[in-house]
Amino acid sequence: MNEALSQAENLCPNCGAGNEADATFCQGCGLRIDSNVSITSPLTRPLPSSTVIADRFRIKSLLWSAPTYNAYSACLPDAGDPIYTVLERPVSLGDPFSGVLGDIGGPDGKGTKAKLDVVMKEAKAALDRFGILKPEERVVQDEKVYVVFNQIQGQPLAHLDQLGEKEVREIALKLCALAEQFHKQGWVYNGFEPYSIFLDHDGQIRLIGFDRARRINTRVAESPIHSSAGYTAPETSLRNALFDPRFDVYSIGSVIQFLLTGERLGPGEGASLYPVATVIPNFERLLGKALAETPVERYQTIAELREGLADLNLPIVLQSGHFTDVGLVRELNEDSVLSLNLTQYFESVQTQIGLYVVSDGMGGEAAGEVASRVTVRAIAEMVTEKLISASLKSTHEERIARPTHTGGLSLAVADGNDIATTELLRLAVINANREVLAYAKANPHERGLGATVTAAMIVGDVLSVAHVGDSRCYLLFGDKFEQLTEDHSLVQRMINTGSLSRSEARIHPYRNVIYRSIGADDQIEIDLIRKKLSSGDVVMLCSDGLNGMLSDDQIRDIIMVNADPHSAAKELVVAANAAGGEDNTSVVVVRIS
């Protein structure tokens, strides 16, 4: 190639790729074109099947190729089924995983063995402590390092679909926690990129390499790393660069960018999300700071990045649906339902609050319908008065919701004091009991007046429940369906003592006999529950007309196939009627996203 053509193409001294004349970063390897750091050679084409490594591991097939390694399935030479995952990497100086250090003990190489022992001891500590998958064996062969694992379960982040803000923040916080541990031990990890991070079947983050980890403040030129284009901090290729914890800040920022957009950064690019991904402006600003090209403009520590992620006010969106029906046997629907959402913005921070109530009336001849209606009205009046008044009166010093030292939530109420969400619900239910008793006293001909109640408040990502009777609250998280409330009924006592199964309870002649209800006594005992929620969780409230007709498994399956809460609520009621519809059925479904 003549000199004029070479100059026009601006050849990279590291990989030889041609670049535009004014390019700063190589489009091929991602390093600065003026870099004096020589990195290890990239991998050549993948190994053919049946290749044997170290006379022990026979390659079965290529699983995938990553920027810095190839992954294969492998087995023992005389076996058929693959039981190992083998990662093939190029050898690099200073690689604690392969044990190749080079002459870093001095000009004559003295002290290398002692340093190798120290590094390998520290590497083993990292494997045990920092979420790194432990290899079965490490083999150096033909200038390659082969790291052998028992078959890896899970998938690399590179294989995930584009994720939402909340899922990305959860993963990023876990990566920050790992990086902090490395930095506390004096290491820079240098390996955070989508093909080095696995998500296992339990949702835990696992790392599959330690080959690029280097001691903090050592010279990059003395122990160079194989750069991963788009994920390695740009300053690693500067003259006299030292391994710096801010390298990992940049890498985790690059992983966040990839998870949000499905795309890696190009050389010299900063944070770029819209229009590929739409996230709240604070998240964009955070990412811009994490990916600042100049280290002094970046987060200076992983702890700062972690705190920034934790402080992001990602809006909790509550989608609710509800449905109620008289059923196929009763002539009057004695159930009452409330579903109310309130949203407040305070200094650009959103607080969303949901209030949901299901009450099943008792008493006959319209008395039950009145009792449930009075119960729901009394709860709604107290809670909404407090919430709306507090929302309108919030000041610069006062927010509508604050976390408590016990991990719950307090609400700012109209008189300027705080009240815990569970306490507000408890007082509201007491108020409902008082009003039902007052109505019964004023209408003595409506004897036996009473109601059950299950009232739930969702404030941000915290669920609070107050419960009396045998209406229920369930929580669906993943594919697990949990009944949060316990029925105050005769058959539940029999279940607790082991004299009755749950399936038998659904058809027991005394299944509707309850021993605790609204309007039964001046003094009322209320069950209070608090639960932390996550994105994707579903909260469901129902009267016993639903669980009396459908099993928990049937209810769970209907919710899981109906992403829209209103569709889920309607199908649950229809399914209860299809199973017999022996009672009024009321359902509220709330999806958290």
Per-residue pLDDT tens, the chain, 593 aa: give them.
344 434 446 666 555 567 777 776 666 555 556 554 444 455 667 888 888 888 888 888 888 887 778 889 898 888 777 788 888 887 765 555 544 333 333 334 333 344 445 555 555 555 656 677 777 777 888 778 888 888 888 888 988 888 988 899 999 999 999 999 889 988 899 989 998 898 887 788 888 877 788 889 999 888 888 778 788 998 988 888 999 999 999 999 999 999 998 888 776 677 778 787 888 888 999 999 999 989 999 999 999 999 999 888 777 889 999 999 999 999 999 999 999 998 877 666 677 889 999 999 987 666 889 999 999 999 999 998 877 766 555 554 556 666 665 555 677 665 556 778 899 999 999 999 999 999 989 988 877 789 999 999 998 788 999 999 999 999 999 899 999 999 998 877 877 777 777 777 667 766 777 889 999 999 999 999 999 898 889 999 999 999 999 999 999 999 999 999 999 999 999 999 999 999 999 999 999 98
What six digits make up the tokens of 25? 């970063």
What six digits make up the tokens of 29? 């390897």
List beta partners, residue 351.
344
Nearest Cα to Cα of residue 253 among 188, 175, 331: 175
Q: What is the dihedral of CA 569, 575, 576, 578, to 10 degrees?
A: 150
Task: Give the other-Cβ count within 10 Å of 325's Cβ.
Answer: 19
Provide the pLDDT for residue 29. Answer: 54
CB distance 32 to 25 below 8 Å:
yes
Helical pair 565-578 and 552-561, crossing angle rounded to 10 deg:
140
Q: Mind giving me the DSSP string for 92-159?
A: -TTBTTTTB--S-S-TT-TTHHHHHHHHHHHHHHHHHHSSBPPPSEEEEETTEEEEEEE---SEEGGG
List beta partners, residue 357.
338, 455
Q: Please give the Cα distance from 420 to 34 (Å, whole number).
A: 60
CB distance 438 to 432 below 8 Å:
no
What six digits make up the tokens of 478? 């993943």
Provide the pLDDT for residue 350. Answer: 73
* b/e code 470-490 from CB counts within 10 Å (16+ = b): bbbbbbbeeeebeebbebbbb
pTM for the structure as a whole: 0.68
Can you tell me whether residue 229 is helix, strand or coil? Answer: coil
List beta partners, residue 321.
589
CB distance 149 to 156 below 8 Å:
no
Question: In whole angstroms, what separates CA 344 from the centre of its chain?
Answer: 24
Provide the pLDDT for residue 6. Answer: 41
Determine if residue 404 is left, alpha or beta; phi over 0 gives left, psi from -120 to 50 gives alpha, anything else beta: beta
Q: Please give the Cα distance from 175 to 255 (Å, whole number).
A: 10
CB distance 189 to 319 below 8 Å:
no
Tally the C-alpha atoms within 13 A of residue 389's C-alpha that lie toward its C-beta. Answer: 13
Provide the pLDDT for residue 314. Answer: 77
Three-point CA angle 151, 153, 154, nearest 5°: 145
Nearest Cα to Cα of residue 179 among 218, 113, 132: 132
* b/e code 24-43 from CB counts within 10 Å (16+ = b): ebbbbbbbbbebebebbeeb
Provide the pLDDT for residue 490. Answer: 82
Q: Please give the Cα distance from 199 to 153 (Å, whole number).
A: 9
Q: Please give the Cα distance from 138 to 149 (Å, whole number).
A: 9
Provide the pLDDT for residue 8. Answer: 44
Which CA distances in Å does 22 have to 30, 52, 200?
15, 46, 43
Q: Please give the Cα distance from 230 to 262 (Å, whole number).
A: 13
What six digits make up the tokens of 371? 């009792």
